[in-house]
Every structure is written in structure tokens, then in C-alpha cells.
Amino acid sequence: MSVREGLSRFGKFLSGMVMPNIGAFIAWGFLTALFIETGWLPNEGFASIASPMLSYLIPVLIAAQGGYLTGGDRGRITGAIAVIGCIAGAPDTTMLMGAMVMGPFAGWVIKMFDRFMEDRTPAGFEMLIDNFSVGLIGMFLSMLGYIAIGPIMTAILAVLMGGVQILMQYGLMPLLAIFIEPAKVLFLNNAINHGIFTPIGIAQAEETGRSIMYMLEANPGPGLGVLLAYCLFCKDAKTRQSAPGAVIIHFFGGIHEIYFPYVLMNPKVIIAPIVGNMCAIAWFSFTGAGLTSAASPGSIIAFLSMTPSDLMLTNIIGVVIAAGVSFAIATPLVRTMATADLDQASQQMRDMKGSAEAAVISDTQGGKIVFACDAGMGSSAMGATRFRNRVKAERPDLTVEHSSVDTVPSDANIVVCQRVLSERARKSAPQAQIVTIDNFLDDPALDALYTSLTQLSHAAELIEPTPAPASAPAEEERPSLAIERADVRLGVPSVGREQCIRDSGALLVQRGCVSEPYVDAMVERDRLTSVYIGMGIAIPHGTNDAKEAVEKTGVVLQQYPDGVDFDGEKAYLVFGIAGKGEEHLEVLANICRILEDESVLEKMKTTDDVDWVVGVLSGRR
């Protein structure tokens, strides 16, 4: 693993602890901004809520989430108990850093205990041991936190605070931008913002009611300047037309990631946000500016919401300075660009982010991985089968299955889905880690997930001889689906994407598998999420709502030797699917088996031998 990947994974882990609890930060931030003595609506009673929220609620929430990430539900409780000792051991310090250490540590300890007791728990004593172990281990870790972790974190925070004071005293704060801006583009913003700046900012805000540390990474000005330069001066029409939408998402939505591809396509442009942020930080330092709480997400709305009333104009000027300087420097760099390939830069960003997202930050021993698509019928089934075959030798303890994105099992540890379905997946499986992909067969995030799962420190211990089943199911009892010559069309001339899907649906109608409305549902499914799944294969099938139009299970194949364009990717094999229950899965499993042999896959893309294709898909060859 490279240093960048390691740091990205660390940032992802920190984000996994903090981001689910960002609502608590917002509540505390608004209480502070509105009701403290220097706030917009001073109120001593309401202001008194902020202190216990910061001192107790937020550290407990972070520690509980950290414990959950490393130790599951039992880790959540143990982490929450343990961090109380840190809080009590350092009553004058907000124990955010302590929570980020103690929570994951407590989860790991309880996980190690559970693993040790796996075969040693006497029958009938399971509940007693489970409850007492969480309580006693939590108590001992709480004592450790009181004696050691709390004081150590206080000392570390004091050192960091001292470093910040030196930087401020000698006017060196702007130099932090040299580190911050490249780190953001490399997806390390969560590591620096939530792991370093926020704890220091809270300590400063407790004393002065505001902190400049909240402004360093969240300022939307530097990225705005870059995007404005692309809006006005980029020679590539496609890139120039995409930039105004990115401006709105970045500046008002606070999604800074939207401007990263514009930097990656021309790395020299990184100079612009660096210098822009340096100038803004210099202005904020000179004027004594600050925010009352963390501005997350980093939109201008959140930024100004956390601005004290007496600093509103000052902070707005700082954002304008950052944007103006960044724009002035980015303009000549954008103007002189020879080429601008936004799609390639966006793909590079997705590859980087996908690798970080696929880092396994929860305990997956004996866990369940679910591949989810809209209907849970075609692409997710293919993805699950292929990944199961890939990972089963190294991680036989894992269960890999597929489902509709709206019916993900409640015990799923990891959910793999296409990006446009990620929010639905989070609602369906809030307990699971979400890994987003662009296609189900050859996405870089799947490679990163495989690496993460197989490189766990205890993965080798999980490879044990599996006893043979008592009796193998009879051949005729297995679900089967005969694919016939009439189901296969070879050498089809290339057509447009929608026509290709409609032709596939028409063949399913002709074969008596579906009624006419199913064809429109296949086109709609592709509009929702692409039916192209990678490696030159597309699997058109209907939406979840179209299952009533399925008369019987069927799979048809159209071969396009010259390919059909799917957003720049060529599909040579197009499998139309209509499934009742899981009757179609055997053919999909055979397709996955074909994918393991590159020579067979390549032959199938060009062959004119229908009997050979039917034999391969039926598992007879």
C-alpha cells in the first residue's frame, strides 16, 4: 500500500467516526453562534446547553461510532463507556481526540475478547458473559482513559496548540495552505480537518468564542476561483459548459470534491487555490477572524452561519480574497492548456476515491457483502457471483449475495452499489459500509475492496478446510434454465444504445418471456443506472416495478462484433434478462464462469458458431 493510499484510508476512518455525528456539531455550533454573550441572540439559559453538549455528548457519539467501526454493536457500547474515563481524567479539555483514539481501541479490544471466547464459552452462559464482558472491559478501559489516555491527549493537544500559537506569533499560518490544498485534492481533507483542525479549533473557541482553525479547510473561496477560471477561459467547450454547474454545487452545496477533477486535468492549477488560501489565511490572521464552530459541509451558507455577527464583513472579504487570487492565478494556466479531458480527470478522481471508500473499516469476520442494484436481478447478481468466486479462497468466512437496493438485508456489513444508488442504499442499510462503483465487473473500487478484505491481519486464520456437505443435491434439484439457439443472435450490426436495449426486449417478447410494457421498463432501467457492467458486457433488464410483466424466466443474447456505445464503453455481448424468482441465476453464473477465461470471452464476442455459444452458456462446454 502506498503512503497516499494509507493516508486516504486513515482519512476515511476519521471521517467514518465524525461525519455520522456532524449533526451534533451543527447543533452545538448554532447554539454557540446564536446564544453566547457575543452571539446573534444572546441568551444565558440556551447558551448553557452548549457546554455539556461539547464536553460529553459529542465525544461519546464519536467514541461510540469509532467502537462500532472496529467492533460492531458491542464495540459501540464499550467505546462509549471507555471515553467517559478520558473526559473525567481531563476535565478542562474537550476530549475529541481522546474519543477518536479510545473509541476504535475499545472496539478492537472487545472484538479480540470475543474472538478468544469463541470456542470457550460454556453453553447457557452466553448472555451472562456477553453482558459482563462489555461492562467490565468498558470499566477497565474507562479507568485507563482516566489515568493515561485523557492526560496524554491533553498533552498532545497542548503541543499542537503551542505550534499554532508559534505560527500565529510569527505570521506563518498562511504556509499551512501549502499542505491543505494538495491534501484536499488527494482526499485527505477529512484527516486534517476532523483529526487536527477541529480539536484545536474547539479548544480555541472555548477560550475566545471563535477559532481560525475552522476556516482553514472549509473556505469555499479557493475552489471557487478555479471553477470561475474554467467557466470563462477554458478552450474546451464541454469543460467550460460543465463548470457553472460545478460552481453552484461547490459554493452553495459545500461539495468541494466537485472541483478536484478540474485540478487533476491540469495539475499546475493547484498553485491557484494554494496561493488563494494563503492570502485568505493571512487576512483572517491579521483581522483576528474566526468561526464559532466547524463549517460542515464547506458551503458559503455553513461558513457564514458559523460567523460571529461582528465578523460577518471580515469573513466575507476573506472568501472574496481567496476566490479572487485563485481566479487570477488560475486564469492564465487554464487559458494556455493544450487539452482538457474532464472525463479522464473525473475517472482518475473516482479511482482515487473508490480505493479509499473500499477500505474495510468495519469488522467483516463472518460478515455479509451485498451487491445491490435497482431490481436485484441482473447486474448485481453478476457482480456478486464474480466477486464471490474471486474472494472465496482467501475469505471463506464471507457471505456474498445480491439484492434490490431497497431491500438490502439488515445484517449486511458492506453494500456495493452504483454511485447513483448510494443514497437509497444508505437509507436501506444505515448500518453498512457503502462502496460505490461505476460497473459491477472491473471497477477499481472492487479491486480495492478485494485487497482490503484479503489483507486483513487475521485473514489467513480464516482459511480452514471446509467439510464436504453430508449429501450433495441431486442434479435435477438445482434450478436450471435451458438457453436455445433461438435465444441467441450473432453478428448483429451496431445500433444506438436505446435501440440495442429495445431489440433485446423485443427478442424477450418474441420468446414469450415478457409482455410489451417490459421493454419500456428495460430502457427506463438504463436511464436510472447504466446496464453496462464492464468487460464488454451489458445486461438490459426491467425495473423492479416491471416484474409483473414477466411471463416466464428467460435470457437472450445479442452479439455486436463492432460494439454498441454505452457512455464511451463498448458492449459486444448484450444479455437481455427476465427473471421469475431466481431461475435465471444459473445462466448468470455460467456467464461469470466464462469471464474467468479471457480467451472464451473474447471468442464469444466474435464467433459465428451458435451451437458453441449455447453449449457454453448452458454449462455443457
Q: How confident is the model at residue 474 (pLDDT cuts 50, 70, 90)?
A: very low
- Backbone dihedral angles phi then psi of residue 613, each to the nearest 5 degrees: -60, -45
Catalytically annotated residue among 234, 373, 513, 592: 373
Helical H runs in 90-210?
A: 96-117, 126-144, 150-169, 177-185, 189-192, 198-208
Final residue of a structural domain among 337, 357, 377:
357
Position 201 scores a pLDDT of 84
Whether 188 and 229 map to the same domain: the answer is yes
Helical H runs in 1-125?
A: 3-18, 22-35, 44-52, 58-89, 96-117
Position 113 scores a pLDDT of 92
Give the start-end residues of each E strand in 347-432. Answer: 368-373, 399-404, 414-418
In this structure, is residue 164 part of a structural domain? Answer: yes
Average pLDDT, the chain: 83
pLDDT digits (tens, 9 = 90+) for 96-141: 888 989 999 999 999 899 888 877 888 888 888 989 999 999 999 9
For residue 325, give the nearest of 262, 291, 281 by alpha carbon: 281
Neighbours of 478 (CB within 10 A): 9
Whether 324 and 387 map to the same domain: the answer is no
Whether 382 and 449 map to the same domain: the answer is yes
Whether 316 and 405 map to the same domain: the answer is no
For residue 401, give the nearest of 365, 425, 369 by alpha carbon: 369
Residue 169 has pLDDT above 70, yes or no: yes
Instruction: In whole angstroms, give the CA distance from residue 478 to residue 474.
Output: 7
Question: How many domains does the chain fold into?
Answer: 4
Lowest mean pLDDT among 8-17, 31-40, 595-604: 8-17
Whether 318 and 367 map to the same domain: the answer is no
Does the annotation mark 541 as catalytic?
A: yes
Position with higher pLDDT, 351 vs 465: 351
Whether 301 and 228 map to the same domain: the answer is yes
Position with higher pLDDT, 11 vs 38: 38
Whether 438 and 448 map to the same domain: the answer is yes
Position 149 scores a pLDDT of 92
Whether 166 and 50 map to the same domain: the answer is yes
Residue 456 has pLDDT above 70, yes or no: no
For residue 485, give the nearest of 617, 602, 620, 619 by alpha carbon: 617
Catalytically annotated residue among 250, 256, 541, 584: 541
Whether 315 and 380 map to the same domain: the answer is no
Residue 278 has pLDDT above 90, yes or no: yes
Whether 166 and 176 map to the same domain: the answer is no
In this structure, is residue 409 part of a structural domain? Answer: yes
Final residue of a structural domain among 295, 327, 357:
357
In this structure, is residue 471 part of a structural domain? Answer: no
C-alpha cell recorded at residue 292: 464559532
Q: How far is CA 173 from the centre of its chain?
A: 32
pLDDT digits (tens, 9 = 90+) for 85-101: 999 999 888 888 889 89
How many Cα atoms are found within 13 Å in the side-chain-facing hemisphere of 346? Answer: 10
Work out the average pLDDT over 187-207: 73
Residue 78 has pLDDT above 80, yes or no: yes
pLDDT digits (tens, 9 = 90+) for 507-566: 999 989 899 989 998 998 888 778 888 888 898 888 777 778 888 888 899 999 999 988
What residues make up the domain containing 378?
363-460
In this structure, is residue 441 part of a structural domain? Answer: yes
Residue 1 has pLDDT above 60, yes or no: no
